[in-house]
Amino acid sequence: MKEINILDKTFRELITEQEINSRIDEIAKQINSDLAGHDVVFLGILNGAFLFAADLYRRIKLESRISFIKLASYEGTSSSGSIRELIGWNEDIRNKTVVVVEDIVDTGNTLERVFGELVIRKASGIKIATMLYKPDAYKKDIFLDYVGFRIPNDFVVGYGLDYDGFGRNLPSVYALIK
């Protein structure tokens, strides 16, 4: 069992680099076939999705574009809790089929926020591609079209995901040892 330390925590390998690569092959093949003839824009959600987006997109054969947005979370000055603004839009997605590319879908809050914005901006179709999915944590009903791996409700790092900013460069996915 491969174990690593990041800062004060220990993690154990959950998904290997080879497993990730062959799963992305399958997902790309599926997207290439499902979305043939569509006007497609891939939309990566930074920071976590940058590796998955790159690895997926290099396997895409559709004439398409890719763009990235980021969620800026900050506490509101009023008592309404955290406000999450989507920044970095530079792509007109009106009448396009948008493939949202996420590193992980956990509670689904992020996804719901992005999905709502795509509806407002009048995307003609919305597909969701996520490398990881925590079914036990997911609280929304947005359908996840392309899921790399369903994982237990444990904190994970690697392959774009971080612990306090570290671990994004790990080529496989590691789960926190409790």
Looking at beta carbons, which residue is closest to Mg ion? 48
If one asks whether residue 97 binds ligand XMP (CB under 6 A), the answer comes out as no
If one asks whether residue 155 binds ligand XMP (CB under 6 A), the answer comes out as yes
Beta strand pairing status for 173-176 and 97-105?
unpaired
The whole-angstrom separation of Cα 110 and Cα 38 is 25
List C-alpha distances in Å: 77 to 67, 69, 86, 109, 124. Answer: 31, 24, 18, 21, 36
Stretch that binds ligand XMP, among 17-25, 73-81, 107-115, 119-127 (CB under 6 A): 107-115
If one asks whether residue 44 binds ligand XMP (CB under 6 A), the answer comes out as no
If one asks whether residue 118 binds ligand XMP (CB under 6 A), the answer comes out as no
SS3 39: coil
Please tell me what DSSP assigns to residue 82: E
| Distance, CA of 66 to chain centre | 14
| Helix boundaries (H) for the chain | 17-34, 50-57, 109-120
Under the rule (CB under 5 A), what is the footprint of Mg ion?
A: 48, 103
If one asks whether residue 156 binds ligand XMP (CB under 6 A), the answer comes out as yes
Residue 106 binds which entry of Mg ion, ligand XMP, none, CB below 5-8 Å type-dependent = ligand XMP
Task: Write down the residue that tokens 């043939």 correspond to.
Answer: 36
If one asks whether residue 13 binds ligand XMP (CB under 6 A), the answer comes out as no
If one asks whether residue 131 binds ligand XMP (CB under 6 A), the answer comes out as no
The residues near 70 (Cβ < 8 Å, ≥ 6 apart) are 45, 46, 47, 86, 87, 88
Q: In the complex with ligand XMP, which residue's Cβ is closer, 94 or 139? A: 139
State the catalytic residues: 106
Q: Which of 51, 69, 93, 106 binds ligand XMP (CB under 6 A)?
A: 106
If one asks whether residue 109 binds ligand XMP (CB under 6 A), the answer comes out as yes
Give the footprint of ligand XMP on this chain (CB under 6 A). 48, 102-111, 155-157, 161-162
